[in-house]
Structures are given as structure tokens and as C-alpha cells.
Amino acid sequence: MKKLTVAISAVAASVLMAMSAQAAEIYNKDSNKLDLYGKVNAKHYFSSNDADDGDTTYVRLGFKGETQINDQLTGFGQWEYEFKGNRAESQGS
């Protein structure tokens, strides 16, 4: 019974971590800021309908930037890309 509880706890923890979003500030100096962020979503659907069955795993990665142009004007920028986890490298993303 104890092994089953540990196994269920491990699976629950890995599922919660698999659907988490993270962020980190990688630069902040002289009114310029750059953040790196991302999200991992691991999913696989099991269905009796073949059209609904399959892997929908993806990873999202992005950068957000901010710079103070003058006292009254701030510039913002953002780049984000989503990588599909259910495709081979030869298929592209």
C-alpha cells in the first residue's frame, strides 16, 4: 500500500510540474530589462475516436524586453515561439 501511495504521489508531482510555467530575469541594468519565460505542456489524449486520440505536447519559449527611452516614453518588445513536441525534427515545427 505504501509503494502505491508513493507511486501515485510521484505521478501527481510530475504531472503538476509538466504543466508549469517559468520565468527568469536575465538582464536588468540602466533602465533596460530582458526576461526569459516558458511553459511546458505535456498531454496525450486517449479516446475511442481516432481523430481525438494523440499527443498534443508543446513547449512555449519567449523573451520580453523593456527600455526607458526618456522620462515619458518606455519601449516594449516581445518574441514568443511554440515548439510542437509531437513532431519529428524532419517534419519541422
Higher-confidence residue of 82 and 46: namely 82
20: three-class secondary structure by DSSP: coil
pTM of the full predicted structure? 0.62
Cβ burial 17-48 (10 Å sphere, 16+ → b, else e): eeeeeeeeeeeeeeeebbbebbbbeeeeeeee
Q: How far is CA 39 from CA 11, 72, 81, in A?
A: 19, 33, 11
Q: What is the pLDDT of residues 13-29, one digit of tens each?
A: 555 555 567 889 999 99
